């Protein structure tokens, strides 16, 4: 038997393409499904969320300005790196969710496929959701979908990787940037995803990942004046109504999907559509 | 050489001729670089919260010299800046107005016409800003033009080339003559500390400007990196404090360039309080040369009052 001590990890946040410690200096122990210690994760605070929103806003112009085709390429590249980390993800999902290796393997494979599925959508959204509108006048009128801006995502509490990817990918595929609060008790796959994003071609700030207590940080994102949309999927039942109410104060788009959502089913376009604004242009036709 | 005011004998002696001026400036104690940087960083960690923070934000707003110094400035842009100076946050009339609007000389009239009776000064950069590379006649004409157009404050740049080659007398004469040309207008002397290299030079240039009659010493043009930094502002605040101790006169300091966030601004206010003294926490004696800072101050003010974070959608785009 080897007497080597394993290196215990203390992870950090992922904000603006960097890995800062929480401003609060706090961290919390993460355990597996049976309660065995796995690692320490940073316990983010409202100020980390604020910094993350600033980073996401800063990244928005660049990310939404890239061509849809290019965004698709960047997301495919992420899938490649995900594939390279497959074994690590399988181990983390198995320990976090307390499932057998075979089940974990299927969850990770579905997650990577899900990412590729959304990557394929980037240059098709405008064709499906845009239109040229028949109007009663000498105008050419057309509508195009545009990203709404910075999206605050409360990631599912149960599905630590497949659920996480199913909520992040549709946000960034259409050109939004996001601040994600991970699953509180199962953050490790999200932390590994941040390492994947940092080493692929996604610009810093497009995805910002904060670990910590969802109920502590979510209200600050719901009321934040510079957040344009809020995904409530991982919100604790007790604060959902409050979050929705304070999100209304700054007229955010709110996605009310239930925590019980089944992520193994191939999704429809609804998550993509949730973070889009429609721009309609009326153009005089001339002679 | 002509001393601008009646100075105590030690200082009057310093400006008698060029060699005594050099002796005086080189006789100033050297700046402890590590010490001043540590102290600046230490004061920067002070935590200012709640009511004190709100007070600091309002004070900082009232100290802003709202600045636009771009080649692309238009009369329209200056007018919208003047409107913002009068009422920084139109939804909240209780926000104080800023101290001044700072523009190029040809824009002074536009700004002055819009600010009549508001108590907001128009400041103009002059003397071949930002490089200061021109003849004395042109610099004087530039200054007179700005004042005629209605500038109540003139921001001049010193000849860094002359200063760095040790021609202190020439720099001194220039400031004295520009001060004369200013008439009643306040004179701010821009040292461009980013080009002075050492803290010792900053201290010498500060004293030189004070001796020559500058009402304010200002760190930078904003066109050179690094612009204002906390340690440099410390050294300059020490100079005005020492000036007051020796002459009884109050002179101002204006950091400019690179101060973009409320957090930074509050660090400067702490430094003003601790290094110069609470008397300097006044728009007549301390200013921020800034453009983007004002929006951040307004957002933080909203955050404090509304209880949630605000965003750039709630302030004007400029």
ipTM, interface predicted TM-score of the complex: 0.87
pLDDT at residue A74, rounded to an integer: 98
B310 and A50 within 8 Å at the Cβ level: the answer is no
B309 and A249 within 8 Å at the Cβ level: the answer is no
Query: For A226, which residue in chain B has the nearest alpha carbon?
Result: B311
Q: Which domains does chain B have, with CATH numbers?
A: 9-307 (3.20.20.70)
Most A CBs within 10 A among B263, B296, B308, B312, hence the mutation to make, goes to B308
Asked if A103 and A117 count as a contact pair (C-beta separation under 8 A), the reply is no
B311 and A225 within 8 Å at the Cβ level: the answer is yes
For B168-190, the pLDDT digits (tens) are 999 999 999 999 999 999 999 99
- Which positions 289-308 of B are in contact with A (Cβ < 8 Å)? 302, 307-308
pLDDT band at A8 (very low <50, low <70, confident <90, very high): confident
Phi and psi torsions of A139, nearest 5°: -125, 150
- Which positions 36-75 of A are in contact with B (Cβ < 8 Å)? 50, 53, 57
- Give the residue numbers of B marked as catalytic: 155, 218, 254
Given a cut of 90, whether residue A205 has pLDDT beyond it is yes
Residue A234, token pair as written in the block: 């991982």
Residues belonging to chain A: 287
B309 and A50 within 8 Å at the Cβ level: the answer is yes
A53 and B302 within 8 Å at the Cβ level: the answer is no
Query: For B300, which residue in chain A has the nearest alpha carbon?
Result: A225
Asked if B193 and B165 count as a contact pair (C-beta separation under 8 A), the reply is no
Query: For B312, which residue in chain A has the nearest alpha carbon?
Result: A226
For B61-96, the pLDDT digits (tens) are 999 999 999 999 999 999 999 999 999 999 999 999
Given a cut of 60, whether residue B4 has pLDDT beyond it is no
pLDDT at residue B318, rounded to an integer: 76
Q: Which of A235, A190, A232, A163 is nearest to A19 (CA)?
A: A190
| Stated pTM of the model | 0.91
Phi and psi torsions of B40, nearest 5°: -60, -45
Q: How far apart are CA A189 and CA A164, in angstroms?
A: 9
A249 and B308 within 8 Å at the Cβ level: the answer is yes
B313 and A225 within 8 Å at the Cβ level: the answer is yes
B313 and A53 within 8 Å at the Cβ level: the answer is no
For A64-103, the pLDDT digits (tens) are 999 999 999 999 999 999 999 999 999 999 999 999 999 9
Higher pLDDT, B318 or A254: A254
Report the C-alpha dihedral over residues B196, B197, B202, B205, rounded to 10 degrees: -30
Distance from CA of B297 to the nearest CA of A (A): 15
Percent of chain B with pLDDT over 70: 98
Q: Name the residue among B302, B309, B310 with its Cβ closest to that of A220.
A: B309
Q: How far apart are CA B128 and CA B138, in angstroms?
A: 8
Q: How far is CA B58 from CA B62, B90, B125, B177, in A?
A: 6, 15, 26, 36
Distance from CA of A60 to the nearest CA of B (A): 13
Residue A223 at interface with chain B, using a CB cutoff of 8 Å: yes
Given a cut of 80, whether residue B286 has pLDDT beyond it is yes
Q: Which residue has the tokens 């004395």?
A: B136
Distance from CA of B310 to the nearest CA of A (A): 4
- Report angle CA B179, B181, B185 to the nearest 5 degrees: 65
Q: Residue A25: its chain B contacts at CB < 8 A?
A: none
pLDDT band at B56 (very low <50, low <70, confident <90, very high): very high
Residue B117 backbone class (left: φ over 0; alpha: ψ -120 to 50; beta: rest): left
Alpha carbons within 13 A on the beta-carbon side of B193:
29
Residue B261 at interface with chain A, using a CB cutoff of 8 Å: no
Q: How far apart are CA B139 and CA B130, in angstroms?
A: 12
Residue B309 at interface with chain A, using a CB cutoff of 8 Å: yes
Q: Name the residue among A226, A246, A249 with its Cβ closest to that of B311.
A: A226
Q: Which domains does chain A have, with CATH numbers?
A: 27-284 (3.40.605.10)
Mean pLDDT along residues B16-39: 95
Distance from CA of B263 to the nearest CA of A (A): 13
Most A CBs within 10 A among B47, B260, B311, B312, hence the mutation to make, goes to B311
Query: For B311, which residue in chain A has the nearest alpha carbon?
Result: A226
Q: How far apart are CA A245 and CA A225, in angstroms?
A: 14
pLDDT at residue B219, rounded to an integer: 97
Mean pLDDT of chain B: 95
Given a cut of 70, whether residue B2 has pLDDT beyond it is no
pLDDT at residue B317, rounded to an integer: 83
Asked if A282 and A145 count as a contact pair (C-beta separation under 8 A), the reply is no
Counting one residue from A and one from B, how many pairs have CB atoms under 8 Å apart? 28
Q: How far apart are CA A240 and CA A57, in angstroms?
A: 25
């Amino acid at each position: 038997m080897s007497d080597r001590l394993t290196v215990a990890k203390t992870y950090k946040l992922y904000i603006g393409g960097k890995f800062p410690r929480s401003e609060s200096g706090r961290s919390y122990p993460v355990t597996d499904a049976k309660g065995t210690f796995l690692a320490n994760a940073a316990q983010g605070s409202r100020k980390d969320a604020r910094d993350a929103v600033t980073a996401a806003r800063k990244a928005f112009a660049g990310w939404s300005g890239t061509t849809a085709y290019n965004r698709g390429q960047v997301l495919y590249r992420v899938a490649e790196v995900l594939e390279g980390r497959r074994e690590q993800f399988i181990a983390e999902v198995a320990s976090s969710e307390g499932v057998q290796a075979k089940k974990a393997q299927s969850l990770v494979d579905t997650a990577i496929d899900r990412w590729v599925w959304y990557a394929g959508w980037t240059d098709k959204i405008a064709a499906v959701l845009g239109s040229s509108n028949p109007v009663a006048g000498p105008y050419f009128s057309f509508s195009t979908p545009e990203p709404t801006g910075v999206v605050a995502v409360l990631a599912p509490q149960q599905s630590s990787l497949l659920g996480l990817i199913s909520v992040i990918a549709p946000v960034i595929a259409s050109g939004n940037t996001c601040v994600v609060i991970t699953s509180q008790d199962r953050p490790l796959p999200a932390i590994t995803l941040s390492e994947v994003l940092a080493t692929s071609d996604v610009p810093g700030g497009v995805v910002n990942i904060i670990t910590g207590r969802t109920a502590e940080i979510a209200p600050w994102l719901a009321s934040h004046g510079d957040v344009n949309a809020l995904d409530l999927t991982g919100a604790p039942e007790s604060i959902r109504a409050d979050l929705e109410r304070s999100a209304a104060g700054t007229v955010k788009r709110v996605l009310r999907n239930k925590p019980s959502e089944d992520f193994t089913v191939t999704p429809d376009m609804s998550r993509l559509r949730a973070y889009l604004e429609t721009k309609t242009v009326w153009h005089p036709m001339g002679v | 050489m002509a001393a601008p005011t009646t100075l105590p004998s030690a200082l009057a002696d310093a400006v008698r001729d060029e060699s005594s001026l050099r002796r005086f400036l080189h006789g100033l104690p050297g700046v402890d670089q590590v010490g001043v940087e540590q102290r600046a960083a230490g004061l920067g960690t002070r935590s200012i919260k709640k009511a004190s923070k709100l007070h600091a934000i309002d004070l900082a707003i009232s100290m802003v010299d709202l600045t636009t110094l771009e080649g692309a400035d238009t009369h329209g842009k200056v007018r919208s800046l003047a409107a913002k100076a009068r009422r920084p946050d139109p939804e909240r009339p209780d926000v104080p107005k800023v101290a001044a609007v700072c523009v190029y000389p040809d824009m002074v009239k536009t700004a002055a016409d819009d600010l009549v009776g508001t108590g907001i000064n128009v400041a103009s950069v002059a003397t071949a800003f930002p490089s200061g590379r021109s003849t004395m006649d042109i610099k004087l004409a530039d200054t007179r033009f700005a004042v005629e157009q209605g500038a109540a404050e003139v921001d001049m740049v010193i000849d860094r080339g002359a200063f760095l080659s040790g021609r202190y007398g020439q720099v001194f004469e220039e400031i004295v003559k520009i001060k004369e040309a200013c008439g009643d207008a306040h004179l701010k002397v821009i040292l461009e500390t980013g080009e002075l290299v050492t803290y010792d030079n900053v201290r010498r240039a500060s004293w030189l400007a004070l001796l020559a009659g500058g009402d304010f010493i200002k760190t930078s043009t904003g066109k050179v990196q690094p612009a204002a930094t906390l340690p440099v502002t410390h050294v300059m605040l020490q100079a005005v404090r020492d000036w007051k101790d020796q002459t009884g006169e109050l002179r101002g300091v204006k950091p400019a360039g690179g101060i973009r966030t409320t957090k930074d601004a509050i660090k400067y206010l702490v430094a003003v309080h601790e290094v110069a003294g609470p008397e300097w926490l006044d728009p007549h004696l301390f200013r921020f040369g800034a453009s983007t800072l004002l929006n951040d101050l307004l957002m933080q003010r909203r955050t404090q009052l509304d209880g949630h974070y605000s965003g750039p959608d709630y302030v004007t785009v400029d």
